[in-house]
Amino acid sequence: MAAAAARFFDSDLWWSFSRSPVAVLSAVVALLCIGGAVLAPWIAPQDPFDLATLNLSDAFKPPAWAEEGDAGFPLGSDDQGRDVLSAIMHGARVSLLVGVCAVLFSTLLGVSVGLTAGYLGGTADALLMRIADIQLTFPSILVALLVDGVVRAALPRETHDQIALFVVIFAIGISNWPQFARTVRGSTLVERNKEYVLAARVIGLSRLRIMLTHVLPNVLGPVLVIATLNLGFAILAEATLSFLGVGVPPTQPSLGTLIRIGNDFLMSGEWWITIFPGVALVAMVLSVNLLGDWLRDALNPRLR
Amino acid sequence: MTAAPLLEVRNLRVEFPTRRGTLVALHDVSFSIAPGEILGVVGESGAGKSMTGAAIIRLLEPPGRIAGGQILLEGRRIDNLSQDEMRRIRGRRIGAIFQDPLTTLNPLYTVGRQLTETMQTHLDLSNSEARKRAIDWLEMVGIPAAAQRIDSYPHEFSGGMRQRVVIALALCAEPRLVVADEPTTALDVSIQAQVIALLKRLAREKNTSMMLVTHDMGVIAETADRVAVMYAGRVVEIGPVREVVKHPHHPYSIGLMNSIPPLDHRVERLAQIDGAMPRLNAVPPGCPYNPRCPKVFDRCIVERPDLLDAGSTSAACWLYDRAEAPHV
Amino acid sequence: MFAFILSRLLQALPVMLVVALIAFAMFAYVGDPVSIMLGQDFTEAQRDALVRDLGLDQPFFVQFARFVGNAVQGEFGLSYRLSRPVAELIAERAPATLELASCAAAIALFVGVPMGVFTGLYRRSWLSRFFLTFSLIGVSLPTFLIGILLILIFSVWLGWLPSFGRGEVVQIGAWSTGFLTGAGLKALVLPSITLGLFQLTLIMRLVRAEMLEVLRTDYIKFARARGLADRTVNFGHALKNTLVPVITIAGLQFGSIIAFAIVTETVFQWPGMGLLFIQSVGAADIPVMAAYLMLIALVFVAINLVVDLLYFAVDPRLRADRGAVRGT
């Protein structure tokens, strides 16, 4: 383990990371966001879901630095006396969970399709890629919305509310697989004709085995980059869906839900209820995107 | 040397500031071109031939810049002109021909439009006059059916035809000097001779001087009046073409000429110069050729020679310093 | 030319059919349209009559053909939620969305392209750096947050512009327009900026990247070597060459503007198709969703066709076959 760590700190990747102030700063912000989100139940000042701790007399407190601010509510409180900071930390948890799961789902789907299409070629390839092309014609947020709407229509209301989180993950994941599929297919086409795959075939390994143990590891580099860049997108997509009121259920508010709810109080001047979740969202997405950009450049200097 | 020179380059120095210090790309380059004269400039890739041409028309790739020396056109300094004054000189007084005709023409404009816009920028011509002249020029450079072809786009011409169009573009505002940077390198061998013959004929007809940059000694021997040999950003030998080709003085020129395959007899093995030209950040002190020179001696390692009179040519080599006479 | 359009239309046909198939599948198999339409109380006879009426007892292909036939005539049945013909609902809302989208597209193009050209030409100026930083924010801020921020600043704090609705509209035939009244125009400002900002930054970055690429080409250098004015080179030769890729992306972006209008319309309670769609998604109103999907697909196909035609107009290389026919 120590050896592995030593090798990591000695690597080109680490060198290029430590030389890029943007990457370091993004990593710090991303770690803060992720840490705050993951540890929310333990470190948040308040449990925003425990109705017993809420007190209506604490409602609409402005941020702590404002004149009527209260140190107990650093970023102010909402209409029910809920601490905005705690709500953000719990909301970020949901946003992050949905984002990560959606990216994993599209990665899995996209990589399988891409590998299959690239390795089999022929009709299967043409068909799969044509589907990807048609889907790519439409903005992915529209696809996610449609999928969400169709699932909503197909399921009875109670069932839907129970599994709403999975529906959102599914919808966002589905909306974004073609990118992975295309990239993986491209790399697979290159790898397929290399000597080592030929050798594996001569030995008589099965197609599945060759794809998984020989081709797959060699196409994972670009997949990692796309996945990082897609995490930001997925978090944003979830926030957009929730903002539109069709994403995660109100019982598990994400950052998008918080912004949606806070939006109602914007006109009456209680801006902090909606703006702070927005800032948290942007900080998280921007830092993840910048990290992804850096990773892409670091792994492939020619793309710069 | 008869009349006053048309172009005179004195101690030209071009530098590229980089993060790891300044690279000197051209070092004390001096030469002149007489009216109507064709000066060939030869040397290996990276010797600074093209850069000399780019510096004269002030189109160095940034961050390259002229760091010293003077460039005089008809006795007037042009290296310190403003960008706008320089723009009026480009095309009008000094034309340019680039290497690859496939990429030098704007793909979205007809050749006629590119010709007329060039002429109308520099000459006071009405649209119909400009168009008439454009057709004349296309005829002069040997484009068949010029009156119809004038409205064609570059992609509708072959490579050789496109280079003829480029030549027409370079000459159409009647400049006194043309800087031709490897004008035939990108062309088919069968086309090269035609294009060179065309260039030479037009230069003679219009009494235009030419700086012909190439690494093709055959082209030089056939076209140029005088030749400058460049090595590692310096002119190492300059003189009349016959002398430099037949009786070179600088050891590098000698090596270069020996590496040309003779046409009149078979040789088992071509002579070659050992080693490679140093990169700009690793030019040795003294004569830059010293690591490869078969005749190197102590002074070459410490002191850099300027162009010295070597009889029929000038050579930047200590062998031709009077004080070193015994070595000759 | 005609053959080209025809072939593009033929390529678009399968895409439309696949989309129609999805829309039909949603319509026929998701939920139970019959019980939704009948409500709570109905007899078996009523049910059977409706099933026959809707053709649900027919085989799949007959049903699908009927669906496509109806769709071509703009017939998508009744909205589950509002019990009104879907075509009517959409026709009512379309003007609001189209006016918003075209304003947003105009902002994106007429601000984005000049900013891109500027940042490409003057890479090192502080204004370019400012534009680039600004564009980074534009890309990272989700549309709805931009809308919220604009409302907070311009409606809540400054009180200059309305935060929701279309203001005052004038009815011209079936078209309701906000262009003719002061209140209508004021109401357009914030939503169009919100919707256009992302596209603006995208177009700016694209134009900048293309500009940098084109400025490095030989033909731009050659244009400078011909002494053409900077203005001609930058805004004629260079900009025209950046247009080809810009047209593609800008065209596709117009499609996504219509799709992203969903978000903007929600933020500003703008009574357009997007708001209708999102309300339908929330209420599982399948006929409206299916119709909207088909409409968006049609818009995308139409835009792709227009983009191809624009290519034709800009890039003569695509017209190569015509030149061959002319035999020049």
Give whole-number Cα distances, C156 to A268, A270, A271, in Å. Answer: 8, 10, 9
Residue C324 domain-assigned? no
* DSSP code, position B279: P
pLDDT value of residue A122: 83
C316 touching B, CB under 8 A? Answer: yes
The 10 Å Cβ neighbour count of residue A237 is: 28
Interface contact A138, partner C, CB < 8 A: yes
Q: What domains sit in chain B, N to C, each tagged with a CATH number?
A: 38-46+82-93+175-262+269-327 (3.40.50.300)
> Given CB atoms, is C143 within the 8 Å cutoff of chain A?
yes
pLDDT of C75: 79
Write out pLDDT tens, residues A32-43: 888 877 877 787
Give residue C230's pLDDT: 87
Taken in order A254, A38, A101, A177, is the CA torsion positive or negative?
Answer: positive
Q: HSE (CB half, 13 Å, CA atoms) of A206?
A: 3
Interface with B, mutate which of C222, C244, C319 (most B CBs under 10 A): C222
A199, pLDDT greater than 80? yes
Q: What pTM does this model have?
A: 0.77
CATH number at residue C162: 1.10.3720.10
Q: Which of C20, C44, C72 is a domain's end point? A: C72
Q: In sequence order, what E strands does chain C have?
A: 170-172, 175-177
| Strand partners for B209 | B177
Superfamily of segment(s) A26-44+56-62+73-299: MetI-like (1.10.3720.10)
Structure tokens at A288: 């993840």
Fill in the amino acid letter for C177: T
Take residue A203 and report the two structure tokens written for it: 């030995």
Give percent of chain A with pLDDT exceeding 70. Answer: 88
Number of domains in chain C: 2
Closest CA to C116 of C127, C102, C105, C101: C127
List, as ranges, residues 262-321 from C with C-beta within 8 Å of A: 262-263, 266-267, 277-278, 280-282, 284, 286, 289, 293, 296-297, 300
Structural domain including C123 reads 87-319
Checking phi first, is residue C215 left (phi over 0); if not, alpha (psi -120 to 50) or beta?
A: alpha
- The answer to whether A139 contacts C255, with C-beta atoms less than 8 Å apart, is yes
Q: How far apart are CA C22 and CA C25, in angstroms?
A: 5
Name the residue of chain C whose CA is nearest to B105's CA: C219
Give the pLDDT score at B171: 92
Which of C45, C72, C99 delimits the end of a domain?
A: C72
- Provide mean pLDDT across the span B60-89: 89
Q: How many Cα atoms occupy the beta-carbon half-sphere of B52 within 13 Å? A: 39
What is d(CA C237, CA B163) in angstroms, rounded to the nearest whole number?
Answer: 19
Query: Residues C267, C133: one domain?
Result: yes
The C-alpha angle A71, A75, A78, rounded to 5 degrees, equals 105
Q: Which positions 172-201 of B are in contact with C (Cβ < 8 Å)?
A: 173
How far apart are alpha carbons B252 and A187 in whole angstroms? 49
Which one of A75-84, A100-109, A116-125, A238-247 scores highest in mean pLDDT?
A100-109
Compute the radius of gyration of chain A from its Cα atoms.
Answer: 23
- On whether both C201 and C235 belong to a single domain, the answer is yes
Q: Is A279 exposed, middle or buried (0-12, 13-18, 19+ CB in 10 A)?
A: middle
Residue C101 and residue C84: Cα distance in Å, rounded? 25
pLDDT in tens, B168-198: 999 999 999 999 998 888 888 888 888 999 9
Site from A25, A135, A142 to mutate, C interface, most C CB atoms within 10 angstroms: A142
Provide the pLDDT for residue B3.
Answer: 63
Tell me the C-alpha distance between B308 and B211, whole Å.
22
Please count the other Cβ atoms lying within 10 Å of the Cβ belonging to residue B17.
13
* Chain C contact present for B155, CB below 8 A: yes
Mean pLDDT of A200-210: 81
Summary mean pLDDT of chain B: 88
Tell whether C145 lies on the interface with A, counting CB pairs under 8 A.
Answer: yes
The rounded distance, in Å, linking the Cα atoms of B38 and B22 is 33
**C82 is a domain residue:** no
Task: Give the Cα separation of C104 and C146 in Å (integer).
Answer: 14
Q: State the pLDDT at residue A304.
A: 37
Q: Does A175 touch chain C (CB under 8 A)?
A: no
Confidence (pLDDT) at C283: 79
Q: What pLDDT, on a 0 to 100 scale, did the predictor assign at position A212?
A: 81
As a whole number of angstroms, the distance between CA C192 and CA B207 comes to: 63
Spatial distance between the Cα atoms of A216 and A121, rounded to a whole number of angstroms:
16
CA distance C19 to C224: 50
Question: Same domain for C65 and C181?
Answer: no
Residues in chain C: 328
| ipTM confidence | 0.87
pLDDT value, residue A9:
64
Nearest CA to B177 among B118, B89, B83? B89
Confidence band of B96 (pLDDT split at 50, 70, 90) = very high
| Contact (Cβ atoms closer than 8 angstroms) between residue A187 and residue A174 | no
Cβ atoms A288, A30 nearer than 8 A: yes
- Tell me the average pLDDT of chain A: 80
Query: Do the Cβ atoms of A140 and A237 come closer than 8 Å?
Result: yes
pLDDT of residue C1: 66
Q: What is the pLDDT of residue C174?
A: 75
Whether the predicted pLDDT of B226 surpasses 90: yes
Residues C110 and C191 in one domain: yes
What's the whole-number mean pLDDT along residues A201-218?
A: 81
What pLDDT is stored for residue C328 in this prediction?
Answer: 33
Residue C269 lies in a domain: yes
C139 and C30 within one domain: no
CA gap B235, B316 in Å, rounded:
7
B244-259 confidence digits (pLDDT tens): 988 899 999 988 888 8
Identify the bridge partners of residue B24 per DSSP, sorted by sequence position: B15
Res. B228: pLDDT tops 90: yes
Cis peptide before B63 (omega within 30 of 0): yes
What residues contact C238, with CB distance under 8 A and at least 6 apart?
C211, C214, C215, C220
Task: Determine the pLDDT at residue B323.
Answer: 64
Sequence ranges of the domains in chain A: 26-44+56-62+73-299
Q: Do C237 and B118 touch (CB under 8 A)?
A: no
Length of chain A: 304
Mutate to test the interface with A, among C148, C155, C265 (most CBs of A within 10 A): C148
Give yes or no: residues C66 and C93 share one domain.
Answer: no
Of C29, C46, C72, which one is at a domain's C-terminal end? C72
pLDDT in tens, chain C (328 residues): 677 778 878 878 888 888 888 888 877 777 666 666 666 667 777 777 777 776 677 777 788 888 888 888 877 777 878 878 888 888 888 888 988 998 998 998 899 989 999 998 888 888 888 888 888 777 778 888 888 888 888 888 887 888 777 777 778 777 877 777 877 888 888 899 999 888 888 888 888 888 888 888 899 999 999 989 888 898 888 988 888 778 877 777 777 888 788 889 988 888 888 889 888 887 778 888 888 888 888 888 888 888 888 877 777 777 654 443 333 3
Same domain, C144 and C67: no
Q: What is the pLDDT of residue C322?
A: 44
Q: Taking 60 as the threshold, does the pLDDT of residue A105 lie above it?
A: yes
Q: Which pairing describes strands B314-315 and B308-309: parallel, antiparallel, or unpaired?
A: antiparallel
C153: which residues sit within 8 A by CB, 6+ positions away? none
CA atoms within 13 A on the CB side of B30: 12
For CA atoms C295, C297, C298, C304, the dihedral sign is positive
Rounded CA-CA distance A278/A238 in Å is 13
Same-domain pairing of C140 and C268: yes
Range name among A102-111, A171-180, B261-270, B295-304 with the lowest pLDDT average: B261-270
**% chain B with pLDDT above 90:** 42
Residues of A with Cβ-Cβ distance to C288 under 8 angstroms: none
The answer to whether residues C59 and C138 belong to one domain is no
Torsion of CA B175, B180, B181, B185, to 10 degrees: 150
Tokens standing for residue B199? 């260039």
Mean pLDDT within A67-71: 68
Helices (H), chain A: 2-9, 12-18, 21-38, 40-43, 84-120, 122-137, 140-154, 157-174, 177-192, 195-203, 207-209, 216-243, 255-263, 272-299
Is C300 within 8 Å of A137 when comparing Cβ atoms? yes
CA distance to B61, C101, C152, C273, C282, per residue, from C270 (Å): 52, 12, 17, 9, 17
Assess A269–C contact: CB distance below 8 Å, yes or no: yes
